[in-house]
Amino acid sequence: MPIDGETKIVAIVGDPIAQAKSPELFNALFERHAVNAVLIPLHVPPAKLGAVLDGLRGVVNLAGVVVTVPHKIAAVAYATDLSAAARQTGGANCLRRETDGTWSGAMFDGIGFVKGLDACKHVVRNKSVLLVGTGGAGAGVAHALVDAGVASLDLFDSNTESLQRLEDALRSRGGTTLIRRSTPSAQPMHDLIVNATPCGMHAGDPLPIDLTGAGPDAVVADLIMKPAQTRLLEGAKARGLATHLGRHLLESSVATMAAFLRLVP
């Protein structure tokens, strides 16, 4: 669909941004629904996030902003209103521009991840999970896994402040899921092993998780979308383990995010 004076704009902000798959998926969705909208990538360093979001508030034909690494936690500070998931996780991956120029924030990473697992027939209820990375995406995934009824959730992050914040938030919910602090090493009891860190996005990155102790039936998931086959997933495949690609999260949440932005039904 050609861009014209009536086109609704959506931006995705991140640092880096070259790895983002959102333009491809969102623009394909707009094409399928014959929606006059386009999503464009903006490379925004953390120090410039506030200035960029303040400026975008004044763009009347801007529908909203998709938020990716490393801005998901910081983005909530700019939202006047937050969805339940955004409040719960302390992060937002989508900001909707309201008619008065304020932002409404929401978090779809967690539900998108769980929906993606379900679509690939990976059951999480009553399973044991190792989650490495407790930032914006990791927090969203953690809460969604608890909502989905996992039996235990082992957490690791080299950022102890982020780790403690998520531990406290999960324990404050109550419920039956066992929350534990762990190491970035898979154990035979782990049914699902998840990398929610950016480690693996660049050539030469170290492995974020040691798979040496993983059981033969474990599923290894990586939230990174580019490269599609990270070193972690390649290592899992070499061990004969099932793998789950990062694209499944976004593919399972694009339509919901576009609906939040009031661009599709």
For residue 46, whether the previous peptide bond is cis, meaning omega lies within 30 degrees of 0, is: no
Q: How far apart are CA 94 and CA 221, in angstroms?
A: 23
Q: Provide the 3-class DSSP secondary structure of residue 67.
A: strand
Q: Is the dihedral of CA 205, 161, 44, 14 positive or negative?
A: positive
Provide the pLDDT for residue 203: 86
pLDDT tens digits, 84-141? 999 999 999 999 999 999 999 999 999 999 999 999 999 999 999 999 999 999 999 9
Length of the chain: 265
| Arithmetic mean of pLDDT over the chain | 96
Residue 19: pLDDT over 90: no
Domains annotated on the chain, with CATH = 8-108+251-260 (3.40.50.10860), 110-249 (3.40.50.720)
Look-up of token digits 């383990």: 241
Residue 259: pLDDT over 80: yes
**In which band, very low, low, confident or very high, does the pLDDT at 2 lie, cut at 50, 70 and 90?**
confident
The pTM of the full predicted model, rounded to 2 decimals, is 0.91
Q: How far apart are CA 176 and CA 236, in angstroms?
A: 30
Answer yes or no: are the C-beta atoms of 52 and 74 closer than 8 Å: no
Per-residue tokens: 216: 């033969």
Residues recognised as catalytic: 72
**Helical (H) or strand (E) element with 234:** helix 231-238
pLDDT tens digits, 178-221? 999 999 999 999 999 999 999 999 888 999 999 999 999 999 99
At 176, which amino acid appears?
Answer: T
Rounded percentage of the chain residues whose pLDDT exceeds 70: 100
Q: What is the mean pLDDT of residues 225-253?
A: 96
